[in-house]
């Protein structure tokens, strides 16, 4: 039986702490909901936030058992740094810095209220909640450029082998009379981030006791995302070629993205099932 959190004690004895965290979290969550979470590359944000909180609450018995107040001086130093970054991110509308600073501040509060033993125990929920932080634009460009080029090249080679009139220049595809730019959303960025987050949650929850196998399964997320998005881009190219650009950029564009993500996620589950014999071999032997 999991003990319920003592919210009355927290709110009556630690109300300044609760009020301060709420004052920081509320505007950041609103900004995320109005910005990054509405974009295709940030659709996993709400899922990560809710499941991350659940991961903390499910260990509440262990938190109460290990609870020991942290060092107030260390907490003050980390919290001061987090608040400076938070204010800067808020003032300059840099949501990545703002969200990361909020996570750092909450980690500092967790350390002060529950102690280092709990922070160490909660390392995965903390890292997992990091997926709520949207990546800055310059980092997105660094990640997506080679991914876009890889997807573009693979799709061009496959369709050219099937005798379609297709050519490529960088990340721009030419098919028939049409010119298509392989954008971030079509090149796997959204799938890579979202699949990594959900795959990480799945592996931790079901395979966390086997670190070697968990790492192997997580590494498979990258090629799965690339393959799935090659199929997506190829499908959009063929839709453009046969039906026109209006069809490819309309409802079918978003529908193809949804189908691609769900298919890639299911492929992770299937791969986990197929690799069951390997997982059994890697399981720690009982003493």
**Per-residue pLDDT at 3:** 47
Among residues 140, 271, 281, the alpha carbon closest in space to that of 202 is found at: 271
Element at 206 (helix H, strand E): helix 189-207
Same domain, yes or no: 278 and 172:
yes
2 occurs within a structural domain: no
- Same-domain pairing of 125 and 144: no
| pTM for the model | 0.77
Same domain for 47 and 101, yes or no, is yes
Do residues 179 and 121 share a domain?
no
Question: What angle in degrees, to the nearest 10, is found between the helix axes of 251-274 and 211-219?
Answer: 150
pLDDT digits (tens, 9 = 90+) for 203-251: 888 766 567 777 787 788 778 878 888 888 888 888 888 877 766 666 5
Q: Are residues 125 and 196 in the same domain?
A: no
For residues 104 and 186, state if they share a domain.
no
Separation of alpha carbons 32 and 24, rounded Å? 13
* Contact yes or no for 261/191 (Cβ under 8 A): yes
Q: Residue 39: its pLDDT value, please?
A: 75
Let me know whether 90 and 214 are in one domain. Answer: no
Distance between CA atoms of 106 and 99, rounded to whole angstroms? 11
The edge-to-edge listing of strands for the beta sheet with 172-175 is 166-169, 172-175, 178-181
pLDDT score of 83: 94
Domain boundary among 134, 166, 195: 134
Segments of the chain with pLDDT less than 70: 1-15, 40-41, 183-191, 207-210, 246-257, 283-287
- Decide if 239 contacts 250 (C-beta within 8 A): no
Active site residues: 186, 232
The confidence score (pLDDT) of residue 287 equals 43
Number of folded domains that form the chain: 2
3-state helix, strand, coil in the chain (%, to 5): 75, 5, 20
Same domain, 45 and 71: yes
Same domain? For 176 and 103 the reply is no
Kindly provide the residue ranges of all beta strands, DSSP E only, lying in 7-127, ordered along the sequence: none
Q: Does residue 166 belong to any structural domain of this protein? A: yes
Regarding whether 277 and 162 lie in a shared domain, the answer is yes
The H or E element that residue 173 is part of is strand 172-175
**Residue-number span of the structural domain to which 84 is assigned:** 7-134
Residue 49 lies in a domain: yes
**Is residue 287 in some structural domain?**
no
């Amino acid at each position: 039986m999991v003990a319920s959190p003592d919210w009355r004690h927290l709110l009556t004895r630690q109300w300044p702490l609760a009020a301060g965290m709420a004052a920081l979290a509320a505007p950041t969550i609103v900004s995320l909901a109005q910005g990054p979470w509405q974009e295709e590359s940030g659709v996993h944000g709400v899922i990560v936030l809710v499941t991350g909180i659940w991961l903390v609450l499910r260990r509440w018995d262990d938190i109460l058992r290990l609870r020991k107040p942290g060092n107030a001086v260390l907490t003050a130093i980390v919290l001061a740094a987090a608040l400076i970054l938070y204010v800067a991110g808020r003032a300059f509308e840099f949501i990545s810095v703002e969200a990361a600073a909020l996570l750092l501040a909450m980690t500092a509060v967790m350390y002060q209220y529950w102690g280092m033993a709990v922070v160490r125990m909660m390392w995965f929920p903390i890292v997992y909640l990091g997926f709520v932080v949207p990546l800055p634009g310059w980092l997105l460009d660094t990640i997506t450029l080679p991914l876009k080029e890889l997807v573009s090249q693979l799709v061009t080679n496959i369709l050219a082998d099937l005798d379609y009139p297709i050519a490529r220049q960088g990340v721009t595809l030419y098919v028939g009379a049409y010119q298509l730019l392989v954008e971030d959303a079509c090149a796997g960025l959204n799938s890579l981030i979202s699949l990594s987050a959900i795959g990480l949650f799945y592996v931790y929850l079901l395979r966390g006791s086997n670190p070697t196998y968990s790492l192997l399964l997580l590494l498979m997320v990258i090629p799965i995302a690339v393959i799935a998005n090659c199929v997506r881009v190829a499908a959009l190219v063929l839709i453009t070629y046969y039906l026109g650009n209006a069809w490819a950029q309309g409802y079918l564009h978003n529908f193809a993205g949804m189908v691609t993500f769900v298919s890639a996620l299911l492929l992770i589950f299937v791969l986990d099932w197929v690799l069951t014999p390997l997982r059994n071999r890697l399981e720690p032997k009982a003493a």
